[in-house]
Chain A
Amino acid sequence: AQTVTQSQPEMSVQEAETVTLSCTYDTSESNYYLFWYKQPPSRQMILVIRQEAYKQQNATENRFSVNFQKAAKSFSLKISDSQLGDTAMYFCAFRQGGSEKLVFGKGTKLTVNP
């Protein structure tokens, strides 16, 4: 079974600085998708960024980018120019190709300090 591990339960960063959240996963599959979701205190889960395993290029969405290391099964999220609104729980998630099930990590609570 696939597992997703987020080793940082909590992190904090100063506003305007850069922070990296870690995620590792375990799978024997070659076709899969990886996601980072954000859950602010209001609890609506929002997709931040996604990565297809077959793509070597790291995904980027504005201030959010990933470092996808397929051989190491690592999928970290970098947030540049952190903003107060980035304060949230961040969940890394895995989805096997051909399936619609998501497997979530335990989450990292990120606090952006003014």
Chain B
Amino acid sequence: SAVISQKPSRDICQRGTSLTIQCQVDSQVTMMFWYRQQPGQSLTLIATANQGSEATYESGFVIDKFPISRPNLTFSTLTVSNMSPEDSSIYLCSVTVGASNIQYFGAGTRLSVL
């Protein structure tokens, strides 16, 4: 299994500002994933972050809006840039540990944009 810590757990931000979300894992992992969960909706994958390379973004998500850093094998950040009320969501990071084929999730960051 994996213990994943996300910070902040929630935030209220003003339109036009940016927020950086941190994700820390208690073990080294190759891939880290960032998801968005809009109110009352399912999870949508934003991007996959590999250490030492550019993140891979899913259709509909771009690096300018959601820049991702992956400086080492236990840490990643997701920035939500130039926020608008439509960015109000829960943002979750997840990892796959070992050969288990199981993804473990952080508790999420609940973002509200005014």
A interface residue numbers (CB < 8 A to B): 33, 35, 37, 42-47, 50, 52, 91, 95, 100-102, 104-107
Looking at chain B's contact residues, the main secondary structure is: strand
CB atoms of A106 and B45 under 8 A apart: no
CB atoms of A100 and B43 under 8 A apart: no
18 contacts between A and B (CB under 8 A): A37-B105, A42-B107, A43-B90, A43-B108, A43-B110, A44-B105, A45-B92, A47-B103, A50-B101, A50-B102, A52-B101, A95-B101, A100-B31, A100-B48, A100-B103, A101-B45, A106-B41, A107-B42
B interface residue numbers (CB < 8 A to A): 31, 33, 41-45, 48, 90, 92, 94, 96, 101-105, 107-108, 110
Residues of A within 8 A of B33 (CB): 100-102
Partner among B42, B48, B105 whose Cβ is within 8 Å of the Cβ of A106: B42
Minimum CB–CB distance from B86 to chain A (whole Å) comes to 19
CB atoms of A104 and B102 under 8 A apart: no
Partner among A33, A42, A47, A91 whose Cβ is within 8 Å of the Cβ of B43: A91
CB atoms of A91 and B45 under 8 A apart: no
CA–CA, A80 to B92, complex, Å? Answer: 30
Closest to B101 in A: A33
CA–CA, A45 to B43, complex, Å? Answer: 11
Partner among B31, B42, B101, B104 whose Cβ is within 8 Å of the Cβ of A91: B42
CB atoms of B102 and A47 under 8 A apart: yes
CA–CA, A40 to B102, complex, Å? Answer: 19
CB atoms of B108 and A101 under 8 A apart: no
